[in-house]
Amino acid sequence: MAHLKVAILISGRGSNMAALIEAVQMADFPAEVVLVMSNRSHAVGLEVARAANIPTQVIRHGDFDSREAFDAAMTEVLAAAGVRLICLAGFMRLLSTEFCQRWHDSVINIHPSLLPAFKGMHVHERMLEAGVRIAGCTVHYVRPAMDEGPILVQAAVPIAADDTADSLSARILEQEHRIYPLAVRLIAEGRARAAGGSVTLKNFELPEQRLINPPPR
Ligand code: GRF
């Protein structure tokens, strides 16, 4: 099977990017990371990508007059690299409608909540404030509205009584690093198809585990 050419867009530390880079290095992984792009020249993740010999590119949003112009510059670089799938990994810019249309069903994002709950920022604090017992993370196709789009993969984690935003974030992040490579694999293997507002998965078995928090005695 031909390898799916993937670009990863980051703005910061890039731990999800690192998880993706590690995953695609496995012999049977049907995708390759051909580019890591950042809108911030000092994004820590860029160093990690360079150390892994992945081509990097910085396109600073501040250098452009409009979101559309910035996005068009990204499209040019992505298209030139032959990219077929764009993974947003802590990329802190909203994408224009034009960009979303140009790359329809070719952009995915990871978000640290069980969408459609807790879209937006400060998710961990807001989940603790709301007192939910189960948190999680979601990989979804990107649509112009923030944190919206057909869902590919989700993972659930329990929230502890003494959790802080940091401890909860760490517990969720561990699962993010598992489900992002899984989502890329599903797409690369042609097993995921967005139709309407949801994703149809081929060869998909229901997991056996159930998560109840607090656990029943
Ligand atoms: C992750 O929590 C991700 O879900 C969210 O931004 C954070 C990025 O972290 N979209 P990292 O840069 O991948 O470490």
- At residue 155, φ and ψ (nearest 5 deg) are -130, 145
Ligand 1 centre distance from Cα of residue 15 (Å): 7
Pocket probe for ligand 1: among 9, 10, 13, 16, the residue whose CB has the most ligand atoms within 8 Å is 16
Domain ranges of the chain: 1-103, 112-217
CATH topology of domain 1-103: Rossmann fold (3.40.50)
Ligand 1 centre distance from Cα of residue 93 (Å): 13
> Which atom, in ligand 1's list, is nearest to the CA of 169?
2
Query: Residue 152: what pLDDT?
Result: 98
Task: Fill in the amino acid letter for 71.
Answer: D
How do residues 66-122 score in pLDDT, each as one tens digit? 999 999 999 999 999 999 999 999 999 999 999 999 999 999 999 999 999 999 999
Tell me if domain 1-103 and domain 112-217 are identical in fold. yes
Q: Does the beta carbon of 14 lie inside 6 Å of ligand 1?
A: yes
How do residues 178-203 score in pLDDT, each as one tens digit? 999 999 999 999 999 999 899 999 99
pLDDT band for 32, please (50, 70, 90 cuts). very high
Domain 112-217 is classified in which CATH homologous superfamily?
Answer: Formyl transferase, N-terminal domain (3.40.50.170)
Query: Residue 1: what pLDDT?
Result: 60
> Could you confirm whether 111 is annotated as catalytic?
yes
142-168 average pLDDT score: 97
Closest residue CA from atom 9 of ligand 1: 90
In which element (H, E) is residue 50 found? helix 44-51
Beta carbons of 57 and 83 less than 8 angstroms apart: no
Query: Residue 141: what pLDDT?
Result: 98
d(CA 87, CA 155): 18
Q: With the C-alpha atoms ordered 25, 26, 31, 37, is the resulting torsion angle positive or negative? A: negative
Where are the extended beta strands (E) located within the chain?
Answer: 4-10, 31-38, 56-58, 85-88, 107-111, 134-141, 151-158, 192-195, 198-201
Ligand 1 centre distance from Cα of residue 88 (Å): 9
d(CA 141, CA 187): 11
Q: Which residue has the tokens 């994703």?
A: 199
- At residue 34, φ and ψ (nearest 5 deg) are -100, -10
